[in-house]
Amino acid sequence: MTIPETNNGSAAIPLSGRHDFEAIARWVKPGTRVLDLGCGDGSLLKHLTEIRGVRGYGVDIDVENIVACIGNGVNVIQGDLESGLSGFEDGSFDYVILSQTLQAMKHTEGIVREMLRVGREGIVSFPNFGFWRHRIQILLGHMPVTKNLPYQWFDTPNVHLCTIDDFEAFCAQHGVRILQRMVMSNGDAVSRLPNLLGTLAVYRIESRR
């Protein structure tokens, strides 16, 4: 399987320090309907609304984020992603985004299935556990702590970390087709040895129906 790489050669402009936001903004077509899961303060949706004119809704569990989203003028639904997306109709969004949240979910299979039920396409980003610095720290006998994985083993919210290869194997096993991939390191696109050199991976996926 060949996966189209997105590499326009230019350094991504960091938005709130989130390098994946620019990749996502490039992929989302103007005027589409977007659901952002784990939307935080709504800055991605606000950005997408401003530059792509999307019709967006966020989902977040934290009431402080609900208040922040309102302040950002973003529609937001308070809810727990772990219990699924039962309030959302099949195929009711063009894109369902899960930005750096997959690794913190308990029900990984469930949320990916739900994303692709509700959205025609899913956009997923996650920190690449296979990044070489992570590997070295493990070889030296420690759980990795880096800029991209800033937590200690005992206080990390990340319960399901994976490598790029792991995620692609997961997709193959779960009927998920990868439409596009962007691997980054500190905001720069990585095309060579992505599973070793990439810190962050962003995928556009759909259900293999």
Nearer to another protein, 45 or 178 (CB): 45
How many residues bind another protein (CB under 8 A)? The answer is: 20
- 164 sits near another protein (criterion: CB under 8 A): no
Among 57, 95, 131, 167, binds another protein (CB under 8 A): 57
Residue 57 class from Cβ within 10 Å (0-12 exposed, 13-18 middle, 19+ buried)?
Answer: buried
Per CB under 8 A, 95 contacts another protein? no
Phi, psi of 164 (to 5 degrees): -60, -45
The least CB distance from residue 77 to another protein, in Å, is 5
Count how many residues are written for the chain.
209
What is the rounded CA–CA span in Å between residue 85 and residue 59?
Answer: 9
Give residues 62-91 in contact with another protein (rule: CB under 8 A): 63-64, 66-67, 69-71, 73, 75-79, 87-89
Q: Which is nearer to another protein, 4 or 71 (CB)?
A: 71
Residue 36: CA atoms inside 13 Å, Cβ hemisphere, count?
A: 29
Q: Which is nearer to another protein, 22 or 114 (CB)?
A: 114
Does residue 156 belong to the site contacting another protein (CB under 8 A)? no
- Contact between 85 and 118 under an 8 Å Cβ cutoff? The reply is yes
Q: How far is the CB of 57 from another protein (least distance, A)?
A: 7
Long-range contacts of 46-49 (CB under 8 A, 24+ apart): 46/72, 46/73, 46/74, 47/15, 47/21, 48/24, 49/73, 49/74
Q: Which residues bind another protein (CB under 8 A)?
A: 33, 55, 57, 63-64, 66-67, 69-71, 73, 75-79, 87-89, 92
